Amino acid sequence: MGCFTFFKFMMAVFNLLIFVGGLTLVAMGIWVSVDGGSFLQILGPFSSQATQFVNVGFFVIAIGGVLVLLGLIGCCGAHKENKCLLLIFFSIILVIFVAEVAAAVVALAYSSFAEGILKAWATPALKEQYGSDPVVTKMWNNTMTEMQCCGFSNYTDFIDSHFLNQTGGYLPLSCCHQFNGTTCSPPMAQRNPVQGCFEEILDLLKRNANIVGGIAAGIGILEIAAMIVSMYLYCHMDKQDS
């Protein structure tokens, strides 16, 4: 009986984590939905497609709501020793786990397309809106300054751009930050090209791959443990009934 009580306690802990995680997702989804206008401005030339990104906020809210409900179902099933609720809890966790594995496989298979998709947005934004749209300009300035990078691929993203024409043929200072000068021209940038921001982001992700992988593995282990605990409680109640 002590083992059964321990598993009930573990079930409560798992569902508390799931409940808190669901509330966090709901809060994030609300934030994205409320601030959707700023995302539309930043995406500029892709603003018509950006509504799909803003709709992600509602999707996140829905996922968070499911997790909150799931936490409540698990807690009630363990506390009241209700086999039906425990079976529902196990089934939902199993579906989520399988969906996450499938999503991870798809993400790995299509990761090579990520650069092309991002470049299709970034290059027009840099050529047409950088220097004229304050939101796009501030976003790119902050990114290039903090990461010490230039453009999406490199300085060539600014060739024939609105900013280059506006400044009389000069690039952002971030493209020549190694010279510590007050101006930056394409020949200067060509002599010692600064790495593009996309490569810097990839390097950052690679440096933090262990952290990202650890979080993903932790979530997977938590889900597997929750399924094991719920199934143990379900089977134990089944034996009690018999």
Tens-digit pLDDT string for the chain (242 aa)? 567 778 788 888 888 888 888 888 788 777 766 665 554 454 444 444 444 445 566 777 888 888 888 888 888 887 787 888 888 888 888 888 888 787 777 666 665 566 666 677 778 888 888 888 888 888 888 888 888 888 888 888 898 888 988 888 898 888 887 767 778 888 888 888 888 888 887 777 677 667 767 777 777 888 888 888 888 888 877 665 55
Lookup result for tokens 């809890």:
89
**Where do the structural domains in the chain lie, given as residue ranges?**
2-111+212-241, 113-201
Q: How many residues can be counted in the chain?
A: 242
pLDDT at 32: 63
Angle at 106 between CA 126 and CA 57, to 5 degrees: 60
Distance CA 88, CA 85 (A): 5
Where do the DSSP E strands lie in 126-215? Answer: none
The CA R_g of the chain, rounded to the nearest whole Å, is 25
| Residue 57: C-alpha distances to residues 27, 61, 90, 166, 234 (Å) | 10, 6, 27, 37, 35
Query: Is the pTM here over 0.85, yes or no?
Result: no
CB 25, CB 60: distance < 8 Å? yes
Distance CA 68, CA 27 (A): 12
Give φ, ψ of 239 to 5 degrees.
-70, -40
Per-residue DSSP letter, 46 = G
Q: Which CATH class is domain 113-201?
A: mainly alpha
44: left (phi over 0), alpha (psi -120 to 50) or beta: left
